Structures are given as C-alpha cells and as structure tokens.
Structure 1
Amino acid sequence: MPNPWYGPISNNVSSEFGFTLDQVNWLGNAVNLVFLPSSILVPFVCKRFGIRLTCYFGTLLLLVSAWIRYAGSVRTLDKEGAYALMMVGQLIAGVAQPVFQVLGPLYSETWFDTKSRTTVTMVASIANPVGSGISQLISPLSGTPRASILVLAIICTAVVPCAFVVGDAPPTPPTYSASQPNPSLISLVRAILGREQRGSQAYMSVRERCDFVIIMLNFGVLVGIVTTFSILTNQDLGPYGYSSDTSGFMGAALLLTGIVSAGVTSPLFDRVFTHHLALTGKLIAPALGVLWLSLIWAVKENNTGGLFAIMALIGAGSVTLLPVAIELAVEVSRNADGSSAILWFAGNLVSITCVLVEGALRAGPNAHPPLNMRRGLIFQGVLACVTVSTVLALKGTQARREMDVRVMQGTLELQRMGQEYVPSLEQDTKGDVEALEKRDEQNI
C-alpha cells in the first residue's frame, strides 16, 4: 500500500506540503529503489532464520515505517523536514515489502501439494495488487493528505498480528520438491549463466535458461508498467480533466478486477489446466501489450467509460498472469524464493526506470493540455508491445511438477504393494536430478 499511496493524490500532496511533482513521484519510486537490494537479501535471510522469523522482521519494519511517515505530516515541520521523514518511512517500507512478495512461492511449495500450489501462490502474489487497489481507493477518500497518511499508518498497525500465525514448515512435506533443501540464490544465478555442472541439483538446460529470461523480461515489464501507472495515475489523467477520485477509481479498477479474475482462474490452473501455464502466457501477454498501447489514444477528455473498460481488461489479464509467471519461473528453475526474488527485482527495476523516463517526458505548461503525459504513454505502450512479443518463443516445461507427480505415483504404487516409500532427504541432497529420476523408476 505505501508504494502507490501518493499516486491518486499527488497534485494535492504537492499543493499542501509544497513538494514538486517529481518529489512526490519519488515517494513512490523510493519503495521500488530500495526493493532492489532488499529482494536479493530476502532468500539469504530466510535460509538463515526461516520463514517465520523473516516475516516477523518484515512486519516490524512495516510498523516502524508507517509511523515515521506519519511523523512527517506534522504541521510544525518545515517542507524539508516533512519530506525527509516521509522519505525515510517509504525507504523502510521498501525493505519490508519484498519479504512477503519473495517468500510467497517458497511458502506455497513448503506447505501445499500440486493441487493447490498455484492457488496459494496466487493468494500471496496478489496481496501486492490488493494493497495497491485499496490504496488507490482509500487515499483520495481520506480527506486531506495529512489525514490520508494517518489512515495508512493505522492500517499498517492493524495487520501486524497476522504475522504471528505464520509457520516455518508442516511436520510432513506435502510433495517431493518440498522435502528437498531449497537451492541458494547464488546457485540459481550460476545456473542462469550456465556455470552449474550437468547433474547438479541447480543445473538448468539451455532451453530452461532461455525460458527463464523470457519470463523475467515479460514479468518485469508488465509488473513495472502497472506499478508505474499506479504511481502516475493522477498525472496521466489529471491534465484531461479527471479528478483525483476518478483517477484513483481507475487505478483501483485495474487492480481489483484482476483480483477477481485471478481468484477464479488459479484453481483451474491447479486442477484442470495444470500443464498449460506457458500457453496461458502466450495468449494473455500479447493482449496486454495491445491494451497498454491503446491508452495512447484512450487517454483523452470525456472518455471515462472507455478508460474504465481498458483498466478492467488490463487488470484481469495482468493479475491472472502474475501467479502463472511466478509458478512457471519456479518450474523451470526449481528454486522458489530465488526465482521470485529475481522476478520482483526486475519488476521494480522497470518501474523505477519508467517513472523517471515518463516524468522526463512530461509536456510543458504551454502544451495542450498543460503538463500532459502523452509521450510517457507512448513510451510504455511501445515498451510493452516489444517485450511481450518474446513470449511466443516460450516453451515452459513444468519440470518441478513432473518430478513431484512421478514420485507421487511411485509412492502410491508401493502403497498398493504393501510397502512404504518416503523420499530420503539425506540421500536426495547427495544425488543429482538424473540419478533421482532413475531411482524413482526403479522404485516404481
């Protein structure tokens, strides 16, 4: 929620606190900036302290950031002091945010089986757009910008107790992959660069490395553009006569319609379209590119209905594709938190770049209309279309699921024969993928 909170009220914040629009943009962009190193550190922290303690750490940072941000809204502060405290609050929030985004796929792999993993990843991954959508609705409706910042602090405080129900792992691993030690982020980077030896647990084939790069590019650009639009909503639409409330509603429409769509489709990917994640990406990503490009002509005066329709379609496609891309990256890399960290890193890097570029492309005060963002919309539309064209080369073999299903079938067969087969964690860590497959076939 802190990331796009200032987007719908950017003009009001600028007027009340005396900040420039670029300074207001940086209150959102700062979260994305500090997200980059934080997302890379999360897998290392989790490997050292576990899921539960890592979540405690993230929750504490969220709480601290909320009240430091509110301290910056006190009327007795001068402009520079207010901006400094708000910025510090946003930076701390940027450290907290990747904790919960990066750990989502690892949590689903640790606690859930193949029939529910995608749904659980969906629930975890859409928490970010849920927060963005709520912030787009609430921030312009909370009265003054100072009251709005207080509301955000109260919400951040209210969710703190939720962290205390998070557990590290179930007594019995639900799948074969959940029983294996999670590879490190460094091993994943080595695998992507082709530095891991064949037979290593982290080894990725050339096809898998190409697929991961394609997923990373598409995820980074599509997530980055959505985040950018959330931050710049009021600046994109305000020059054409749309109020901050209407701008907030459009941003919320993008995200909230996507949540409904993802909630419907994710269970289908778990139980019906279990082997069609790559095909889903090939169908949805190009359509999203066209929709982002259409905003070049759709953002104009008196086109509220058309803009709401486009926002709803973008939201439905983007948020549906979010858990699909995250799960597919885990499938081709077999590294849950490492692949998630790289994907979210890419998304936030693109967001930072787009906010800076589109801010620089803002028209001058003498343009028609003044300060319009048409050139920025052209930039993001072209970027989206060029990037999504690469998804047509995606193969996306779901290697992790195939291994889990194969071991599960072997276990059921042995149970029918009156024997019991439980994957040995100690033996599995000493073998390689090919040896494990051969052993499973022999056991069956």
Structure 2
Amino acid sequence: MPPPWSAASPTSSPSSQPGPDEHERPFGVSEGRSKEKERQKGAVRVDVLQVTRVDSGEHHAHAHAHVQYRMYKRRWVGVCAIIVLNIVAGMSLVWFGPIANNVVEAFGFTLDEVNWLGNVVNFTYLPCAALVPAVYARLGVRRTCYIGAVLLLLSAWIRYAGTASSLSVHGKYALLIIGQIIAGVTQPVFQVLIPGYSERWFDLKGRTTATMLMSIANPIGNAIGQLISPLVETPAQSILVLAIIYSAATPFVFIVLDGPPTPPTHAGEQRSPSFMSFVRAMVGREPKERVTYMTRRERSDLVILALAFGVLVGVINAFSILTAQDFEPYGYSDDISGLFGATILLTGIVAAFITAPLFDRVFTHHLALTCKLLCPFLGGAWLGLIWAVRRNDTGALFALMAVIGVTSLTMLPVALELAVELTRNADASSAVLWASACRCAASCCLCFSYRGSSCGAMRM
C-alpha cells in the first residue's frame, strides 16, 4: 500500500488548473479576477510538499518557495504622485479651449489654429501610446517617469517663450505648438502605467479603486484647466500660470517607485508581458500555453471595448477643447462655457469615488453589465444637447453635463479593468484604450471645426 503522502493534493496539482485554451472567456466574465481570488485566499500561498516513490527506491522531493503576499502603505504615496502628475499633464489638452476667442485677439491666430493647439496633443498621443509600454519594459516605471517629468518642464516653458511680444505671429504659434506636442508625449507616459501600477501594488480588494483614483486624475486636470484658464486676465499670463503649475508638480516624480519588495498577489509577481506579445495575441499568433493568449471572443471583445472607450472619452475631450466655440454663438460667456466642461468632470469624479469601491467589493463580476446599463443613459444625454443648446437654457445644460459626467467617469476605470481581464497585459491594454480615445477626440475636433467654419458658428 502506498504511503498516504504519495498522493498529491488536487488543489496543488498544476494539471488540475484549466489552461487558457480549454474554454473561452466571454466578455464581462472576470475569470482572471476569480482565479486570482482563489490564489489569494489567506494572503499566503504555501505549495504542498510532494514525495514520489520510484522503482529505484529513491525519493525526489519537490518543494516550491514559500511566498507571502503583502501590501505596503507606501503604495498610496506612489498613487498620490501619479495622480498629481496626471492632473498636471491633463491641463494642456483643454487649456486653450475656454479662452480660444481671447487667444485669437491677443496673438492674431485663427480659431482653427487655436483648435490645433489642443488637437495636436491627441495626434501626438497615438504613436507615443504604442511606444510607452516598450520603454517601461526596458527602463522601468521610475526612470520612464523621470523622462516624462523633464518633458513636462520643457513643454511648459517653451509654451511661455511663445508669448514673447518680440516674436512674429508665426514665431509665437510655432513655439506654442511645439510645447503642446511635447505635452502630448507626456500624457501617455503617466496614463499608460496606471493599470500595471495597480496590479503591482494592490490586491483585488483595492485594485479597481486605485485604478479609478489614478484614471480620473487626467479628467480632473481637464476640469481644473477649464476653470483656471479663463480666470487669468490675459492669455500670456494664463500660459505663465500653467508653466508655474507644471514646475511645482514635477518633483512628485521622485516618489514613484517601480514595484514593492514583495508582491500583493500572484499577478503582481509576474513579469509584465511585452507589447509585442499583445500584438501577436491580437493576430492569433501567440502560443496557447502562454497567459497572454487570447481567444477569438476575447479579441473581438477588446475591439468593441476599445471603440466604446474611444467614443466615451474622446467625445468629452473634444467637447472640452471646443466649449467656448460651442456655446459662444448662443450668448454664453467663456466663464460659463468653462463651467459646463468642469461640471462633466467634477460630477463624474464624485460618482467614480462612490462606485469604484463597490466594484472592488460588491459588484466584482458585474463590470461589463455596468457598461451595458450606463451607455444608453450616456447616449441619451448627448442627444439631448441637440435641443438643450439654445439661449437662456443654463439649467438644462448643467443637468445634462452632470448626467454625462456621472455615466462617463463611472465607466472609465471599469473599462480599463475589463481590458486587463481580456488581455492579461495591463500596459498594452491601457495604451490601446487611451490611444483609441485620442484618435476619436482628434477626429471629433476636426469634424466640429469643419462644421463650424462652413456654417459660421459651431453646431453640436
């Protein structure tokens, strides 16, 4: 009779775990999250000591390393730093939107040229988003953030140099748009790292909340930019204020760390997959035994998610860039136009703070269902603007902005987490979603600008 210890525990046998090719993971089923919870129970993983009897009488003991998962309080320090950096990076996109008419008068630009000061950020984002995951893999989070901080400073003071009165109109515009291009490079540096940072530092009970806090920082920056830029007396002084804000926020980069000494979960101890592994998975060339392998259903779900996320975020970004031009023909001032855009973002931030902990602890397996329920309300609010944008209808406009903000920003971290579940590649999925948003924002800006120039006034 064989000794009782010769039978391996079924829970510890690798063969008992289903491979990624044994069944497909439909959209909305957080299988990866469920498996992670099973691994994380008790916060300590100890593999069973296995002893196998062989014919020669020798015994081979196979013991795996004792791994104790833990979290560190310092993780919140890094979260705060990333929040500040994303807030500052998000200001440049919409800074010129509420003061577009004033910039035209002060510098002699056309409205189309002012629109491009925001739109060029979106176009710059697209190629950079694909490169950032590879840079992270080579240099690490900390050193890549250092590069982003240096670019922040350069963009801020190059922009301010463009306000010099001794320059020609074309010289001013050249420096301003160069500063905006550099600012467009910094945005993916601080945005793409968010899901990966949450995975490295947080367990499943706090990951969505951490992703939410860092993800909404960029929209917070949009809101702050829309509120501050109209308050300064002249566009030149406004650009100086932006440069000072950038300079004050840059030192926060020194408290961003690569990763904890001990990971919080099994996923956190894995090496981040490369962007090329994601590309291979999307074209069906990734080997099935790898964790980054994606079924056809997962690939199609990711395409749908990227398109929806692009519209979700991109339309808001385009709307924020063009707020003054959208509402000025109907008698609304730059201050009120800025408040419209800020309402979208501030109400959404409040909603995200409330809902993110619920997704972590209560509605863990209802992420996709949330998107399906909220999207019709969001679409109805955008359609409502067709009839609400008219003179002396401030109350209805603020109400619609609040609905748009609550539904949009609630879905923002949810979509990012769903993309991680589908790809098992946090950096690549984040890059794809944010690039889709910038592509949509750039397209919307061009369409709105063309519509406005052909009709003499911007139409919603």
TM-score, normalised by the number of residues in structure 1: 0.82
Query: Residues of 2 paired with 1:283 and 1:201: CA distance?
Result: 30
The aligned residue for residue 213 of structure 1 is: 303
Q: Could you tell me how far 1:285 is from its partner in structure 2?
A: 1.5
The aligned residue for residue 144 of structure 1 is: 234
The C-alpha deviation readout for 1:382-429, integer Å capped at 9, x for no partner, is: xxxxxxxxxxxxxxxxxxxxxxxxxxxxxxxxxxxxxxxxxxxxxxxx
User: For residues 23-422 of structure 1, what are the structure 2 equivalents within 5 Å?
Assistant: 23-362=113-452, 364=454, 371-374=456-459, 377=460
Query: Residues of 2 paired with 1:168 and 1:199: CA distance?
Result: 28
Change (3 A) 1:363 1:66: closer
Change (3 A) 1:210 1:251: same
Q: Could you tell me how far 1:74 is from its partner in structure 2?
A: 1.4
2:290 partner letter: S
1:323 partner letter: P
Between the two proteins, the alignment pairs up a number of residues equal to 370
The C-alpha deviation readout for 1:64-121, integer Å capped at 9, x for no partner, is: 1000001101122111110000001000000111111100111000111100000111
Q: Could you tell me how far 1:354 is from its partner in structure 2?
A: 0.8
Higher helix share: 1
Q: Which runs of 5+ in 2 are unaligned?
A: 1-90
Query: Residues of 2 paired with 1:15 and 1:299: CA distance?
Result: 25
* Residue aligned with 1:3, SS: helix
Q: Could you tell me how far 1:193 is from its partner in structure 2?
A: 2.1
189-198 or 118-127, larger mean C-alpha shift: 189-198
1:14 partner letter: V
Query: Residues of 1 paired with 2:146 and 2:440: CA distance?
Result: 28
Query: Residues of 1 paired with 2:162 and 2:248: CA distance?
Result: 20
70-79 or 25-34, larger mean C-alpha shift: 70-79
Q: Could you tell me how far 1:363 is from its partner in structure 2?
A: 5.5
**Moved segments of 4+, more than 3 Å:** none
2:362 partner letter: V
Query: Residues of 1 paired with 2:458 and 2:372: CA distance?
Result: 30
1:83 partner letter: Y
Query: Residues of 1 paired with 2:396 and 2:427: CA distance?
Result: 39
CA-based RMSD: 1.0
1:19 partner letter: F
1:9 aligns with 2:136: no
* Residue aligned with 2:322, SS: helix
* Residue aligned with 2:92, SS: coil
* Residue aligned with 1:115, SS: coil
Q: Could you tell me how far 1:373 is from its partner in structure 2?
A: 2.2
* Residue aligned with 1:90, SS: helix
Q: Could you tell me how far 1:286 is from its partner in structure 2?
A: 1.9
Q: Could you tell me how far 1:201 is from its partner in structure 2?
A: 2.2
2:458 partner letter: M
Query: Residues of 2 paired with 1:306 and 1:99: CA distance?
Result: 37
2:333 partner letter: S
The C-alpha deviation readout for 1:191-238, integer Å capped at 9, x for no partner, is: 122222322221111221121111101001111100000001011111
Query: Residues of 2 paired with 1:349 and 1:363: CA distance?
Result: 21
Query: Residues of 2 paired with 1:53 and 1:210: CA distance?
Result: 34
* Residue aligned with 2:313, SS: helix
Identical counterparts, % of pairs: 60
* Residue aligned with 1:181, SS: coil
Change (3 A) 1:363 1:299: farther
1:20 aligns with 2:105: no
Query: Residues of 1 paired with 2:339 and 2:93: CA distance?
Result: 17
* Residue aligned with 1:157, SS: helix
Query: Residues of 2 paired with 1:202 and 1:42: CA distance?
Result: 19
* Residue aligned with 1:312, SS: helix
Query: Residues of 1 paired with 2:253 and 2:127: CA distance?
Result: 23
Which one has the largest radius of gyration?
A: 2
Query: Residues of 2 paired with 1:95 and 1:298: CA distance?
Result: 36
173-182 or 241-250, larger mean C-alpha shift: 173-182
Query: Residues of 1 paired with 2:269 and 2:298: CA distance?
Result: 23
1:22 partner letter: D
* Residue aligned with 1:7, SS: coil
